[in-house]
Amino acid sequence: MIAHNSPPLDLGGAKLFKGMLTRASQETLVDVLREVAVTAPFFHPVTQSGKQMSVRMTSAGRLGWVSDRRGYRYEPRHPNGATWPAIPDLVMDVWRAVANIDRCPDCCLINYYGEGARMGMHQDKDEVDFSYPVVSISLGDDALFRIGGTVRRGMTQSMWLQSGDVLMMDGAARLAYHGIDRLRFGSSDLLKGNGRINLTLRVVAAEPTDDTNA
C-alpha cells in the first residue's frame, strides 16, 4: 500500500510524506471507510456556541472525537449510541510505518470536506499525553494546509496536501496551530461527488490499550 519510502519533507517541524499511498490503496481505503460510515454515519458537529462546523465527521477506534454545546471531547460511542467501528487495518499500517512506536492510537477521526469547507487554525490538545504523534492521511481533493507555532498569532507556512499524502506532527510540532484554508474542489476523482477525506490518528488516553478496537 505504501508507494515509496522517500524521506519526508519538513513543514513547520511536521513531517510530510508525499504520495505515500498508491492510488489502488486509496481506492481500497475509501471502500473501507464507507463500511465504517454504515455503523458510524458522518454528522455535522457544532461548537460550544452552537455554530455548525463546515466539515462532517465520524470516528473509528476505542474513542471518537465529538463537539457540541458541551465542548470538545472524546466519547466511547457515536452520537447515535453505537460503539465506534475498529480502526481499519490499512490505516493502522500507515500509523506503524511512520509513527514507529508500539502504542496503538485510540482514535481515528474522519473528517469530510465538501465544497467550501475549511478548518480554522487550532491545536490538537484534547489528549492526555502530547509525547505521542498525530498522524493524518489525505484522500481526495487537494487541500491548502497551514501550520504555525505553538502560539496562535505568528508566522505560518502553507502547502497543498494531495490525495495519498501522510502528515505526522510530533516533537515541537505536536502542539502547533494548524488548519485547512481551502480546497481545490474537483481536483481529484477519487471520491464520488468530489471533496476530501482526512483521517487523523491520535493516542488519547495515558494507559495503553489492546488492538481489539484499534
Rounded alpha-carbon distances, angstroms, from residue 50 to 43, 47, 70: 14, 5, 10
Written as one letter, the residue type at 153 is: R
Longest dimension (CA), the chain: 44
Instruction: Check residue 136 and give its pLDDT.
Output: 98
- pLDDT tens per residue, range 137-179: 999 999 999 999 999 888 999 999 999 999 999 999 999 999 9
**Homologous superfamily in CATH for domain 9-202:** Alpha-ketoglutarate-dependent dioxygenase AlkB-like (2.60.120.590)
For the entire predicted model, the pTM comes to 0.92
Give the percent of the chain with pLDDT over 90: 83
Nearest to 155 by CA among 181, 183, 177: 177
Residues 21-62 have pLDDT tens digits of 999 999 999 999 999 999 999 999 998 888 899 999 999 999
Residue 212: per-residue pLDDT: 42
pLDDT exceeding 70 applies to what percent of the chain?
Answer: 93
Q: Cell numbers at residue 42, please? A: 458522518
The answer, yes or no, to whether residue 1 has pLDDT greater than 80, is no
N-terminal to C-terminal alpha carbon distance within the chain? 19
Strand 178-184's sheet: what is its strand order? 119-122, 178-184, 142-147, 157-161
How far apart, in whole angstroms, are the C-alpha atoms of residue 17 and residue 90? 16
Distance from C-alpha of 139 to C-alpha of 136, rounded to nearest angstrom: 10
Q: In this predicted model, what pLDDT tens digit does every residue of 97-143 receive, in sequence order?
A: 999 899 999 999 999 999 999 999 999 999 999 999 999 999 999 99
Q: For the chain, which residues make up each domain, given as ranges? A: 9-202
Do 12 and 173 meet the contact criterion of CB atoms below 8 Å apart?
yes
| 74 neighbors 60 (Cβ within 8 angstroms) | no
